[in-house]
Amino acid sequence: MRGVVFDGSRTEVVDDLEIREPGPGEVLVAVAAAGLCHSDLSVVDGTIPFPSPVVLGHEGAGVVEAVGAGVGHVAPGDHVALSTLANCGACAQCDRGRPTMCRKAIGMPGRPFSRRGESLYQFASNSAFAERTLVKAVQAVKIPADLPFTSAALIGCGVLTGVGAVLNRAKVDRGDTVVVIGTGGIGLNVIQGARIAGALTIVAIDANPAKEAVARRFGATHFLTSASPDGVREILPHGADHAFECVGRTELIRTAIDLLDRHGQAVLLGVPAATAEASFLVSSMYLDKSILGCRYGSSRPQRDIALYAELYREGRLLLDELVTETYPVEDFAKAADDAHHGRVARGVLVF
């Protein structure tokens, strides 16, 4: 079968991948569509260290092909969106509703794929850039059959991360003021999460002026092309209740902190290099300010994906508008180039 493989130095679209049968508690999914998130590109450029060879992709949707022993919540033929959380479901963190913090779900990549006798790693417990992938039961979330796969695919990272950061982590309240730095797939979902939460002012910032129209479509009330504090303070003289960094640059993390109002919180979503350090003015923090890290929108995928699918059907959550371009998987290089140059909100590979 076809898939996108990164061998540690280059990516290649191959057609001789194999995948093992589902074992107990596993689900084999025929992937129909998969979004290209910046984190895939960050594996290729080394920003996110990951063992290789690896099958990329972590934001997908498709049809259940087979289930292993003990899987009862989905059956062959069901449509599913895939989460990246291979959490155990049985530890104290899982039990308290924090599956993103499950220690069994971080840093233990499986190797369900093989090619020419060599086994390949699975990226983010997911590898949606393959015709078929194998996930744990908790990762396969049933979605209504009338959701287009190209749109449903984006729920599994962009929407869970962006909307989840707003609703689950920051807990943005009605009337709050929000600044969003970076309006790619993640930032746009932060913007629409803030709109859904009832934020009053949503200032979107992106260095690429072509992003203004889509940012406003998702709910931005203002758009700026520079994260200079002066520009933001013309709109929000006291600063923001919430500032989300959605690019992954340390100087923008500093800016997010500098833009906070009293009691404000900076939420870090962008992922800089693993060794990156950022600084802030300590004296600025005493006014009850906070810096919050956020993994995967602090999501609970079985609950949140179902919620987002319902909000989409009601017209309150935008998904179709995120899909600027679809590409056959063979055109991965073009999709990566378009994403790298900011030509798309999200590019989606189809099988």
Ligand X SMILES: NC(=O)c1ccc[n+]([C@@H]2O[C@H](COP(=O)([O-])OP(=O)(O)OC[C@H]3O[C@@H](n4cnc5c(N)ncnc54)[C@H](O)[C@@H]3O)[C@@H](O)[C@H]2O)c1
* Binding stretches for Zn ion (CB under 5 A): 37, 39, 87-88, 91, 94, 102, 157
- C-alpha distances (whole Å) from 205 to each of 18, 196, 244 are 43, 19, 10
Of residues 93 and 114, the one with the C-beta less far from ligand X: 93
Site string for ligand X, 234-263 (x = CB under 6 A): ------------xxxx--x-----------
Of residues 17 and 215, the one with the C-beta less far from ligand X: 215
Strands (E), 48-122: 54-55, 60-67, 79-82, 113-115, 118-122
> Which residues, numbered 29-88, are part of the site for ligand X (CB under 6 A)?
37-39, 42
Among 25, 109, 148, 342, binds ligand X (CB under 6 A): 342
Site string for ligand X, 161-180 (x = CB under 6 A): x-------------------
Of residues 313 and 343, the one with the C-beta less far from ligand X: 343
Tokens standing for residue 267: 């939420």
Of residues 246 and 259, the one with the C-beta less far from Zn ion: 246
Smallest gap from residue 74 Cβ to Zn ion (A): 20
The listed partner (ligand X, Zn ion, none) that binds 91, CB under 5 to 8 Å by sort, is Zn ion
User: Rounded to an integer, what is the distance from CA 308 to the centroid of its chain?
Assistant: 14
Residue nearest to ligand X (CB): 184
Dihedrals φ, ψ of 265, to 5°?
-135, 135
The listed partner (Zn ion, ligand X, none) that binds 239, CB under 5 to 8 Å by sort, is none
The long-range contacts involving 62-65, CB below 8 angstroms and separated by at least 24 positions, are 62/29, 62/30, 62/31, 62/32, 62/33, 62/149, 62/351, 63/29, 63/30, 63/32, 64/27, 64/28, 64/29, 64/30, 64/140, 65/28, 65/29, 65/30, 65/132
CA-based angle 149:316:196, to the nearest 5?
A: 120
The listed partner (ligand X, Zn ion, none) that binds 94, CB under 5 to 8 Å by sort, is Zn ion
Instruction: Name the residues that contact ligand X, by CB under 6 A.
Output: 37-39, 42, 157, 161, 181-187, 205-208, 211, 227, 246-249, 252, 269-271, 294-296, 339, 342
